[in-house]
């Protein structure tokens, strides 16, 4: 039952996000293919670690899903060049690429993708999300300003 509810909440989130993106496109006069350096920032530690683990063959895909303690969470996957979709935005630094789909970008625009190392864990993370109001104590999920 819990798996069904989780699956349902992701579908509802995606449907809502797509509707929200559709409304944004209707109001926007700026071309959608245009992306700026301000959309996503990539730290040195993120670029260095990504280059070290994949030797430029794969790219880091960041996506936002409903879930986590605070409502939304960022997911990270390594993805190949062949899986880049039409609605993906590509951000590059020092020869490595971070890929974010348009729907997810609406939630994390202006944020920073970082690689953080601690004694108990090391992970990619999205920090300084302008649309984020609160986050959980472990730093994995966030809620949006309304």
Residue 94 has pLDDT above 60, yes or no: yes
Cα–Cα dist 13/101, whole Å: 14
Where b means 16+ CB within 10 Å and e means fewer, 33-68 reads eebeeeebbbbeebbebbeeeeeeebbbbbbbbbbb
Position 112 pLDDT exceeds 60: yes
Strands (E), 1-110: 40-42, 59-67, 71-79, 88-93, 96-101
Q: What are the two backbone dihedrals, phi and then psi, of residue 119, each rounded to the nearest 5 degrees?
A: -65, -40
Fold designation for 36-144: Hypothetical Protein Aq_1857; Chain: A; (2.60.300)
Per-residue pLDDT, averaged over 97-121, amounts to: 94
Residue 35 confidence (pLDDT) above 90: no
pLDDT confidence of residue 135: 73
Read off the pLDDT of each residue in 79-86 and give the average, rounded to a whole number: 90
Strands 40-42 and 111-117: parallel
Could you tell me what percent of the chain has a pLDDT over 90? 48
Confidence class of residue 141 from pLDDT cuts 50, 70 and 90?
confident
* pLDDT exceeds cutoff 70 at 30: no
* Residue-level pLDDT at 108: 95
pLDDT of residue 63: 95
Q: Break the chain into its structural domains and give their ranges.
A: 36-144
pLDDT (mean) for 102-106? 95
Mean pLDDT across 77-91: 92
pLDDT of 70 strictly over 60? yes
């Amino acid at each position: 039952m819990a798996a069904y509810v989780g699956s349902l909440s992701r579908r509802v989130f995606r449907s809502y996000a797509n509707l929200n993106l559709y409304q944004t496109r209707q109001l926007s006069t700026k071309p959608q293919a245009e992306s700026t350096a301000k959309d996503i920032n990539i730290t040195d530690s993120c670029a260095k670690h990504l280059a070290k683990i994949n030797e430029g063959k794969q790219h880091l895909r960041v996506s936002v899903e409903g879930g986590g303690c605070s409502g939304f969470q960022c997911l990270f996957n390594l993805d190949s060049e062949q899986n880049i979709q039409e609605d993906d935005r590509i951000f590059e630094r020092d020869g490595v690429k971070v890929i974010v789909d348009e729907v997810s970008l609406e939630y994390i625009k202006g944020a920073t993708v970082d690689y953080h190392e601690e004694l108990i864990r090391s992970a990619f993370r999205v920090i300084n999300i302008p649309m984020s109001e609160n986050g959980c104590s472990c730093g994995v999920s966030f809620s949006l300003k309304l």
